[in-house]
Structure 1
Amino acid sequence: MRGSPTYQVQQIFDRSGINQIGQSKHDAKQSIRAELNEQGKPCGCHELGQNMGIHSYATADAYRDVWRQILEYARAEYGVRDVEKLTDQHVSGFLEQKVSESLAYATFQQYAAATEKLAVALNGYAERHGTGQHYDFHGALKDVRETARELLVRFDGSRAYDRPTDLVAAVGKESHNLAACIQHESGTRVHEHSQIKAEALRGTRVDRFTGEERGYFAMEGKGGKEGLKAVSVETYQRLEQHIAVHGVFTINEGSYRESLRRAAEISGQRYEGSHGLRWNWAQERYATLQNHGQNELQAMCEVSREMGHERADITMHYLRGK
């Protein structure tokens, strides 16, 4: 599609079926619920959101403004001038930019909701015009929302644990202790290490920055792309042995967090959630890279890349209180 960002956004709004202003939102919800139930599909909040249009002028104005900002961002950062060519990489980068601006979490949620609705509008436009395109920003939104919760929710300071090694040592259950080691050594989000299969193991190799041998496993990153996470050889061997015995490494995320909470009490530390270990990893990796010749900007960029972020300045949030 050609034209200014404002023009393209208006075309998507007008020609996708997303514009439901003047129609009953309640009736629309009831109709969608009935249709989903008839098809035997889930009809929770996410599914309703994927099928609902926009029913108020205020919401329409707010969402179109965000859509325009996303396209302007994609033009400036990636040279993408066509709204139909937006991908999860573009929206992820845009939302990470908003996180880096330290806006209120509630404001970020509004940006995320508008972005989610953009995918609905783009899919509606594609279906009506037979373009064959499909848009799914759910994975990108999930990751950035988790980052926003870590960095923006009623927070001023560092969420890193004071003594992460003591915390990990105090985690009693074997699988949870292994999970804590993995998270502290690789900076994973919980869902990235809550299930690791044998085919995800990638063996050991030398870290190109430190010269240290590390064990690597694969996880699914943004856009379904494979990402690699590195742990110590000792932890990697524990992971291999666990999978050899049990067939897969898996944990219940809620139970794991509860184990960390108990470990924080045992080790005399404030509980910072599972993401506290991610903060520790970011700070430690940043220092390690600098100790091995990287300057501040290079270290910041590499830490962001290894964490799966599009923007280097996201790392600055994790360095607070360091």
Structure 2
Amino acid sequence: MTKGNSPIMAQMEKVYRHTRANSFATRARYESSCRNFIGFLDEKFKMKNLRNLQDKHVVAYIQQRQAEGIAPKTLKNDLGAIRYMHDMIPNIKHELSDNKELKNAFSIALGKTPAVKGNRAWTDHEYNAMQQFVQDVAESDGRGTETAADVRDVMQLARTMGLRVTEAVAMSRSQVEKALRSGVYQVKGEAKNGKWRQVPLSSLGKHLMESRIQDVQRGGRLFIRPGEQTHAAVNRVEKFMQNNRQQFETAEGREIRMYEGNPNALTYHGLRYNYIQDRVQQEIGKGYSKLQAAAIVTKEVGHERVDVIDVYLGEKGSALL
């Protein structure tokens, strides 16, 4: 233990030293949030063991952070980090409530997180052109063929199943085997905030899983090379996207993604916008209201609030009313 560390700080550091879920950047951000929280617990409650963590401790921290003028988005990120850490602690004595339960039980007002700045969806032309490019590179004899194939498939998983880039890259053989049997893909600890969720298996997702799993050994992962860390694999496919995406932007796409005079860039996250927009439209087509459709889709993409879907719908949302 580093000199001066409290017992609970040492416990927290052990959690983050051994976890491999999420990207390197996300884990670093979570650990930073938890350090602040641990310092608060040590000073305010003299806590000795994180297994004793309860809602009352979290509520007290929320109240202090709000008194400091911390923005709702930052505070919600802090709470996600705290719950992630708590899930990694063995033999906990108490379950922690989610934000809605805290609001109802303790009259905590977390406030609404400001909307994401602008639409990020791709046009069909941009998506198809990028897919053709990575397919051509994957089939060539040049450099980057394996990464191009990874980019192609991660794009498809984001577009047709709403997976985040880390969720797709961290996909394991065992997860794929279960998905192919059940028709539902289980996102596990690699999810943002470590929140598990189930996603319907798309036909394209099924096809690429069936193809890729043939070359993956038991205990292996579909996109991570032997000896490669998850964050390094994520960085590899993200860098490929960043280095090549500009040539596929269209005037129509830039206009769609325009925010305060500047267009949002093409990203994997933008493909989640496409997925959500399509899925809400599909559910409305079945006879559901926009609110009912949003309630269905929000569970698939790992959000707790239905109104978050409005962020992804953007201007399309008004057309669905």
Q: TM range, normalised to the smaller chain?
A: 0.5 to 0.7
Can you list the C-alpha shifts for 1:23-44, whole angstroms capped at 9, x where unaligned? xxxxxx961189978x995786
Q: 1:113 to 1:46 in 2, by over 3 A?
A: closer
Equivalent residue pairs, number = 227
Instruction: Please say if 1:253 is aligned against 2:226.
Output: no
Q: Provide the rounded CA distance (Å) in 2 between the counterparts of 1:283 and 1:46.
A: 32
How far is 1:70 from its partner? 7.7
After superposing on structure 2, the runs of 4+ consecutive aligned residues of structure 1 that deviate more than 4 Å are 33-37, 39-44, 54-57, 68-71, 114-120, 134-138, 221-226
From the superposition, tell whether residues 47 and 31 of structure 1 become closer, same or farther in structure 2 (CA, over 3 Å): farther
Question: Does residue 108 of structure 1 match 2:81?
Answer: no
Greater relative CO, 1 or 2 (CA 8 Å, sep 6+): 2
Report the secondary structure of 2:180's partner residue: strand
SS at match of 2:171: strand
Q: Does 1:52 align with 2:15?
A: no
Task: Report whether the alignment pairs 1:67 with 2:59.
Answer: yes
Q: CA deviation at 1:190?
A: 1.7
The 3 A distance-change label for structure 1 pair 113 and 268 is closer
- The residue correspondences of 1:111-260 to structure 2 (distance < 5 A) are 111-113=76-78, 133-134=93-94, 152=114, 155-163=116-124, 164-171=127-134, 172=137, 173-201=148-176, 202-203=179-180, 216-220=184-188, 225=196, 227-232=198-203, 234-247=204-217, 248-251=221-224, 252-260=233-241
Distance 1:237 1:118 in 2: 35
Letter in 1 for 2:185: F
One of 222, 244, 267 as aligned partner of 2:248: 267
Q: Is the 8 A contact 2:161 2:199 kept in 1?
A: no
Q: 1 or 2, which has the higher strand percentage? A: 1
CA contact (8 A) 2:122 2:274 kept: yes
**31, 40, 62: which one aligns with 2:4:** 31
| Deviation of 1:286 (Å) | 1.1
Q: Deviations over 1:107-133 (max 9, x none)?
A: 42135436767999x99xxxxxxx961
Kept in 1: contact 2:33–2:81 (CA 8 A): no
The residue type paired with residue 218 of structure 1 is: Q
Q: Equivalent residue of 1:176, what SS? A: helix
**Larger of the two Rg values belongs to structure:** 1
What SS is found at the alignment partner of 1:228? strand
Please tell me whether the aligned partners of residues 37 and 61 of structure 2 are also in contact (alpha carbons under 8 angstroms).
no
Q: Please give the residue correspondences for 1:292-311 in structure 2 after superposition, counting only pairs within 5 Å.
A: 292-311=286-305
8 Å Cα contact 1:219-1:229 kept in structure 2: no
CA shift at 1:69, angstroms? 11
Query: 2:300 corresponds to which letter in structure 1?
Result: E
Cα deviation code 1:65-91 (max 9, x no counterpart):
9827989xxxxxxxxxxxxxxxxxxxx
Helix, strand or coil for the counterpart of 1:52?
helix
Q: Is the 8 A contact 1:159 1:272 kept in 2?
A: yes
Q: Distance in 1 between matches of 2:198 and 2:315?
A: 28
Q: Secondary structure at the match of 1:160?
A: coil
Shift of the 152–264 alpha-carbon distance from structure 1 to 2, 3 Å rule, reads farther
Distance, in Å, in 2 between the alignment partners of 1:235 and 1:117 is: 32
Corresponding position of 1:276: 270
Q: Which runs of 5+ in 2 are unaligned?
A: 18-30, 45-55, 64-68, 99-112, 138-147, 225-232, 251-263, 317-321
- Provide the alpha-carbon RMSD of the alignment: 4.6
- Larger CA deviation: 244-253 vs 264-273: 264-273
How far does the alpha carbon of each residue in 1:128-170 deviate from its partner, in whole angstroms, 9 at most, with x for none? xxx96155799xxxxxxxxxxxx858x5321112333333333
Q: TM-score, normalised by structure 1?
A: 0.55
Q: Is this contact kept in 2: 1:185–1:281, CA < 8 A?
A: yes
Report the Cα distance in structure 2 between the residues aligned to 1:50 and 1:56, rounded to whole angstroms.
10
**Corresponding residue for residue 145 of structure 2:** none
Q: Secondary structure of 1:227's match?
A: strand
**Unpaired runs of 5+ in structure 1?**
1-28, 58-63, 72-103, 124-130, 139-150, 206-214
Q: Would you say the 8 A contact 2:62–2:75 is kept in 1?
A: no
Change (3 A) 1:105 1:191: farther
Aligned counterparts of 1:304 and 1:35: Cα–Cα separation in 2: 35
SS in 2 for 1:312: coil
- How far apart, in 2, do the equivalents of 1:167 and 1:152 lie? 31
| 1:117–1:192 distance in 2 versus 1, CA, 3 Å | closer
Determine helix, strand or coil for the equivalent of 1:196: coil
1:2-21 equivalent positions in 2, closer than 5 A: none
